[in-house]
């Protein structure tokens, strides 16, 4: 808004339908102020409305001075609460006039979506969204809504099926022979572009008919709102760095859990519902729709997936060579500015330092899809672009994905089967992350469509702040590939999970992992892992205390173990064998061990009194010269040990038969594969520094 227009404001901005405040009685004044502010916000003229409202006070009217101060104070108090204040602090908006705007339904269209009807200033609430979809379901024989589950607050999580063949069960959908795209929106419900894009696309696939040919070759499953409770934490203050809609939902669910960090631990009913849908409906492609944060740049839509160095190299090749180029061309043709990569800058204040290209862990959608060999794409529109531009970009990506899927499903299904049939002898559990202090001296560079910026001193932060000027700039910046394995594990023949850990067994079943459940006790020769130096996070992360362990601090111990009825054997020779390894190998940052499901094994429950240990220690030294030499050496080398009487006595206690041999012994057994014998262990650091997970140092 141009503030100089205050001398010649529009009649609508002036609010001429309202009486001046001096004409109101005292009881009406507060209501007038609230109405004026609401009108100013609705017209996107907040600052002008505020200035005009204050200017209406006539200093010659006796009632006005008594009103002026309270009015001013009220307006100043309410000032941060309304829309244009946010636009005023965001970087300049980039002009855009893409051809995809022709997709917007005209005013008066009987199937105009709520977002279109509001000129993309607003997005519909949960009830309005469901009501619109139910109306569409009644009008089209090709649409059917199915509930996936309920949220913690009791809201239904809906999935909409769009099928030309009216195939509304998993079996019927597979029987069509057509590939299926599962697209979900609102896992972070403040990032809601996918919901409104999905409603437009469903309408055009069916009652409007402009995209009906897409359903001739493919089926669509749309989850318009996954985080339904977070969506209804509706506010103008959900996304401080996002240009529209005016109100939106919150990032986390009703229990303050980030759903896109829950794919492995499955704490939330929302992610359990979507994982169940993956198991039941078996989509050929899975698209997770988001809005990005971070720096300013020209791109209005980006996407990413795990590359060939991940768990599904054949799928990654198809995405690289088929889907991604097609999406790029389709979006560019419609006037969008796409980028087939996730934008993570090495330094937030300096794009010239480069960006990283990494692989996601399984706690997020893209990493989870990769490890279970479901082609999975993360779509990110740019938060600083106008809402209609972002929604249309998402629509075009979904349209292109359906087209590509319909034309290339045979090759994709072959790639999926190749990855599901792979049984790598060594499984990667995590990949090395960025080390800013040890960057390679020379790095390949790639084009980057950036926005010019300035760095200026900040009296607020005491450092420098970035100011994006709004002027496009073409850069060539380094690209750092973070795709080397960090933690790895040999593939065992199977894992044995004791019945005493039912919450772990239950989650394995939720994931769809195949297993054998014991009906009677069985003794098995297994390898158990002794955790020598586990590190606990200092802060909770996603409702858990993370536990990290370096592979070098894991000591294998072979023993014959008895497993009670209800225990399970999890073979790795299955389609989800890679997922089972990621969940059950303790060095994996996605494992149940890392998420703290086995905290009990880290606590000691039995101790020995000093008066008992003193004579026992004397006898041990006298009868075991090797132990005596070891004790002498430890006294010489370890100052802390030498000066701590309790530690010295405890050192002897741990070497007696009285000491708990189950302490820090991982309960899950590994059944060795004779065709894959143990070699040197692969070392990994005692923490993980992925952008999607916690570290055991800071818990965040």
Q: What is the per-residue pLDDT across 463-489, written as a single tens digit (0 to 9) for each?
A: 999 999 999 999 999 999 999 999 999
- Please give the residue that has the higher pLDDT: either 154 or 72: 154
CA distance 535 to 207: 57
Q: What is the DSSP letter of 100?
A: G
Phi, psi of 210 (to 5 degrees): -70, -20
Residues of the chain with CATH 3.40.630.10: 117-422
596 contacts: CB under 8 Å, gap ≥ 6: 544, 545, 546, 547
Supply φ then ψ for residue 131, to 5 degrees. Answer: -65, -40
* pLDDT of 19: 36
Closest listed residue to residue 593, CA positions, set 677, 676, 675, 489: 489
Q: What is the mean pLDDT of residues 574-601?
A: 97
**What is the distance between the alpha carbons of residues 219 and 227, in angstroms, rounded to a whole number?**
23
Q: Does residue 225 have a cis bond before it (omega within 30 degrees)?
A: no
Q: What is the pLDDT of residue 469?
A: 94
- Per-residue pLDDT at 84: 52
SS3 455: strand
Q: Residues 165-177: pLDDT tens digits?
A: 999 999 999 999 9
Q: Which percentage of the chain shows pLDDT scores above 70?
A: 84
Lowest mean pLDDT among 200-209, 220-229, 666-675: 666-675
Residue 589 pLDDT greater than 70, yes or no:
yes
Tens of pLDDT, residues 330-357:
999 999 999 999 999 998 778 888 999 9
Express each pLDDT in 539-582 by its tens digit. Answer: 999 999 999 988 889 999 999 999 999 999 999 999 999 999 99
So what's the pLDDT on residue 87?
Answer: 66
Q: Which residue has the tokens 């010295």?
A: 648
At 352, phi and psi to the nearest 5? -65, -15
Cβ atoms of residues 563 and 499 within 8 Å = yes
Orientation angle between helical segments 29-42 and 63-78, nearest 10 degrees: 40
**CA pair distance 21, 566, nearest whole angstrom:** 75
Could you please report the per-residue DSSP string of 127-171? HHHHHHHHHHHHH-TTEEEEEEEE-TTS-EEEEEEE-TT---SHH
The closest alpha carbon to 406, from 578, 658, 651, 205, belongs to 205
The residues pairing with 482 across neighbouring beta strands, listed in sequence order, are 358
- What pLDDT sits at residue 17? 37
Distance CA 577, CA 583 (A): 10
Please give the pLDDT value at position 130: 98
Predicted local confidence at residue 59, as pLDDT? 39
Q: Give residue 579's Cα distance to chain centre.
A: 18
Q: By the 8 A CB rule, do 80 and 44 touch?
A: no
* pTM for this entry: 0.86
* CA-CA-CA-CA dihedral for 301, 467, 241, 123, to nearest 10: -60
Instruction: Kindly tell me if the per-residue pLDDT of 81 is higher than 70.
Output: no
Check pLDDT > 50 for residue 681. Answer: no
Instruction: Flag whether pLDDT at 682 surpasses 70.
Output: no
Q: What is the pLDDT of residue 373?
A: 98
Given a contact cutoff of 8 angstroms between Cβ atoms, the answer to whether 219 and 178 are in contact is: yes
Selected residue with higher pLDDT from 61 and 390? 390
Question: pLDDT tens-digit profile of 408-444?
Answer: 999 999 999 999 999 999 999 999 988 887 887 788 9
Please, what sign has the CA dihedral across residues 38, 42, 44, 45? negative
Query: Please, are residues 303 and 327 in contact by the beta-carbon 8 Å criterion?
Result: yes
Q: Which two tokens stand for residue 522?
A: 């069985």
Average pLDDT over residues 195-204: 98
Cα(666)–Cα(425) distance, integer angstroms: 22
The answer to whether 377 and 286 have CB atoms below 8 angstroms apart is: yes
* pLDDT category of residue 689 using cuts at 50, 70 and 90: very low
Tokens of 407: 């034309």
73-82, 337-346, 658-667: least confidently modelled range: 73-82
Q: What is the CATH number of domain 117-422?
A: 3.40.630.10
- Residue 41 — very low, low, confident or very high, per pLDDT cuts 50/70/90? very low
Helix (H) / strand (E) containing 205 = helix 193-205
CA angle 23, 29, 34 (to 5 degrees): 125
**Interacting residues of 122 by C-beta distance below 8 A, sequence separation 6+:** 114, 115, 245, 246, 247
- 276 close to 354: Cβ distance less than 8 angstroms: no
- Tens of pLDDT, residue by residue over 84-129, are 556 678 999 999 999 999 999 999 999 999 999 999 999 999 999 9
- DSSP H/E element including 370: helix 365-371
* Strand ranges in 57-126 using DSSP code E only, listed in sequence order: none
**Structure tokens belonging to residue 613:** 């240990």
Mean pLDDT rounded to a whole number for the chain: 87
Tell whether the model's pLDDT for residue 274 goes beyond 50.
Answer: yes
d(CA 159, CA 170): 13
Question: So what's the pLDDT on residue 679?
Answer: 57
**Which is more confident, 62 or 479?**
479
Contact yes or no for 615/621 (Cβ under 8 A) = no
* Residue 421: predicted pLDDT: 98
Lowest-confidence range among 267-281, 290-304, 337-351, 585-599? 337-351
In whole angstroms, what is the distance from residue 381 CA to residue 562 CA?
A: 53
């Amino acid at each position: 808004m141009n503030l100089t227009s205050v001398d010649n404001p529009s009649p609508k901005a002036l609010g001429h339908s309202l009486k001046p405040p001096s004409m109101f009685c005292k009881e009406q004044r507060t209501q007038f102020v609230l109405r004026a502010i609401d009108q100013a916000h609705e017209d996107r003229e907040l600052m002008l409305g505020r200035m005009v409202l204050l200017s209406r006070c006539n200093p010659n009217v006796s009632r006005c001075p008594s009103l002026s101060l309270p009015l001013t104070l009220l307006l100043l108090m309410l000032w941060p609460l309304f829309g244009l204040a946010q636009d005023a602090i965001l970087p300049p908006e980039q002009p855009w006039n893409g051809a995809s705007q022709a997709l917007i339904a005209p005013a008066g269209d009987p199937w105009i979506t709520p977002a279109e009807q509001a000129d993309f200033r607003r997005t519909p609430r949960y009830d309005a969204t469901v009501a619109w979809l139910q109306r569409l379901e009644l009008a089209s024989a090709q649409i059917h809504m199915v509930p996936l589950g309920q949220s913690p607050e009791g809201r239904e999580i809906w999935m909409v099926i769009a099928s030309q063949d009216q195939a509304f069960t998993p079996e019927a959908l597979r029987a069509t022979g057509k590939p299926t795209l599962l697209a979900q929106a609102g896992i972070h419900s403040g990032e809601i572009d996918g919901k409104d894009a999905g409603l437009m696309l469903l309408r055009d696939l069916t009652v409007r008919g402009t995209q009906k040919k897409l359903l001739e070759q493919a089926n669509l499953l749309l989850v318009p709102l996954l985080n339904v409770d977070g969506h209804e934490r509706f506010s103008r203050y959900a996304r401080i760095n996002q240009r529209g809609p005016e109100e939106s939902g919150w990032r986390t669910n009703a229990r303050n859990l980030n759903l896109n960090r829950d794919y492995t631990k499955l704490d939330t009913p929302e992610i359990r519902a979507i994982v169940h849908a993956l198991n039941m409906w078996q989509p050929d492609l899975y698209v997770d729709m988001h809005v990005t944060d971070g720096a300013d740049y020209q791109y209005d839509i980006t996407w990413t997936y795990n590359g060939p160095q991940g768990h599904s190299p054949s799928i990654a090749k198809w995405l690289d060579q088929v889907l991604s180029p097609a999406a790029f061309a389709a979006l560019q043709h419609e006037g969008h500015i796409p980028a087939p990569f996730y934008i993570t800058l090495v330094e937030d204040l300096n794009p010239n330092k480069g960006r990283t290209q990494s692989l996601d862990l399984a706690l997020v959608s893209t990493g989870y899809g990769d490890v279970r060999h479901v082609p999975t794409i993360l779509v990110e529109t740019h938060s600083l672009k106008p809402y209609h531009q972002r929604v249309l970009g998402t629509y075009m990506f979904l349209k292109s994905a359906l087209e590509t899927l319909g034309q290339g499903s045979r090759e994709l299904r072959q790639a999926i089967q190749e990855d599901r049939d792979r049984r790598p002898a060594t499984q990667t559990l995590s990949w090395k992350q960025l080390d800013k202090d040890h960057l390679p001296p020379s790095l390949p560079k790639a084009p980057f469509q950036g926005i010019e910026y300035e760095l200026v001193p900040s009296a607020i932060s005491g450092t420098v702040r970035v100011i994006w000027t709004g002027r496009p700039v073409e850069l060539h910046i380094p690209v750092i590939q973070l795709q080397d394995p960090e933690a790895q594990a040999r593939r065992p023949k199977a894992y044995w999970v004791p019945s005493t850990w039912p919450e772990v067994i239950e989650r394995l079943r939720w994931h769809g992992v195949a297993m054998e459940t014991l009906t009677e006790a069985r003794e098995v020769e297994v390898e158990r892992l002794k955790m020598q130096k586990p590190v606990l996070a200092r802060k909770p992360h996603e409702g858990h205390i993370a536990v990290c362990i370096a592979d070098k601090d894991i000591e294998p111990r072979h023993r014959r173990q008895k497993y009670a009825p209800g225990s399970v054997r999890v073979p790795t020779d299955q389609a989800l064998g890679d997922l089972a390894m990621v969940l059950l190998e303790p060095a994996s940052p996605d494992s149940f061990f890392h998420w703290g499901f086995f905290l009990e094994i880290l606590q000691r429950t039995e101790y020995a009194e000093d008066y008992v240990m003193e004579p026992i220690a004397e006898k041990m030294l006298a009868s075991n010269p090797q132990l005596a030499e070891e004790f002498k050496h430890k006294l010489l080398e370890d100052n802390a040990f030498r000066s701590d009487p309790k530690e010295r006595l405890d050192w002897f206690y741990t070497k007696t038969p009285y000491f708990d041999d189950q302490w820090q012994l991982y309960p899950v057994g590994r059944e060795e594969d004779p065709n894959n014998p143990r070699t040197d262990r692969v070392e990994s650091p005692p923490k993980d520094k992925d952008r999607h997970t916690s570290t055991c140092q800071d818990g965040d």
